[in-house]
Amino acid sequence: MIPRHRTLQDLVKWSHDLLASDEQHLFARLCVFAGSFGLDAVEEVCADQDLDSSGVSLLLANLVDKSMVHLIDEDLPRYRLLETLRDYGRDRLGKAERDLVRSRHAAWYLEVAERCGRSLAGPDEASAVKMLDRDFDNLRAAHLWSIEHSDIDVALRLVAGLREYSFRCMHAEVTNWADSAIALPEASGHDRYPVAVGVAAYGRFVRGDLESAIELGEQAVVAAQQLAIDGSGIAERALGNAWFYRGDTERGVEWMDRMLTSARKGSPARLAMLCTCGLLPTLASATMSAVRSLPPTV
């Protein structure tokens, strides 16, 4: 080890050894978080019979006072660990405890994804987007945990919950998560599978892979029919866009009509979201193409 790294490790160990045992315990568990995190997440993820939730806020404040945790936003509040400290604390957790805490971490951020996903269809849209932006590192960590542990439920629901956020905020990474989630064994029997396949299809469309977008979109439609569930119009959106950009306007309109039929089964907000993010951009593009094809006026 490089001498200066050895010195840094010794400094971290010295600071850690000065902590009380319950502070050390919380510090180790905080290392499952990626990026920044809030007090509500700490109480949900880190507290149990060994660390009572009523005392977590005080322990966290002690860790801030002792410079083991950084308070980066006093108003929310939000906290962060330096990477060196996170690495040290992670090594203090045994495998069984680490797996337990990481599973609670994944469950918490799945709930965040689904709650914010619902809020995107209402007046709290702006605050929901800000929350997802702040927590995206932790959402990614939850996804990685779900794939690592083949947790089909978390993997598929996470993609489904984040689909509109992904499309609106250009987080194409979520469409890659969809690819990983639908590849899990026995994923095709889950009721969120058609939506996740639809998200993967839309991701292919955005990247310009129209053939794969159509293939996956049709797969999602068939899966929804087989499971006798509504696929939320995501696959139809991908198919409508893909066929439009392949130059088959008739098929594109047919799939957009089917997208609207699916959307009408949900809330008015869902209908508005699908139209805004799926139908209107494509129609605008088609209109501009038609205008460009007109002969020049004299």
What pLDDT is recorded for position 291? 37
Question: Across the strands, what pairs with 80?
Answer: 70
- pLDDT tens for 46-61 read 999 989 988 999 999 9
**pLDDT of 164 over the 50 cut:** yes
168-172-174 Cα angle (round to 5)? 95
Residue 15 amino acid letter: S
pLDDT of residue 171: 87
Structure-block tokens of residue 9 = 């490790």
The angle at the Cα of 163, spanning 219 to 256, to the nearest 5 degrees, equals: 55
* Res 272: pLDDT: 52
User: DSSP label at 295?
Assistant: P
Indicate the pLDDT class of residue 170, thresholds 50, 70 and 90.
Answer: confident
Rounded to whole angstroms, what are the CA distances from 108 to 14, 28, 59, 111, 118? 32, 18, 20, 5, 16
Put the strands of the sheet holding 78-80 in their side by side order.
37-38, 78-80, 70-73
State pLDDT tens for residues 11-29: 999 999 999 999 999 999 9
The tokens of 239 are what?
């198919």
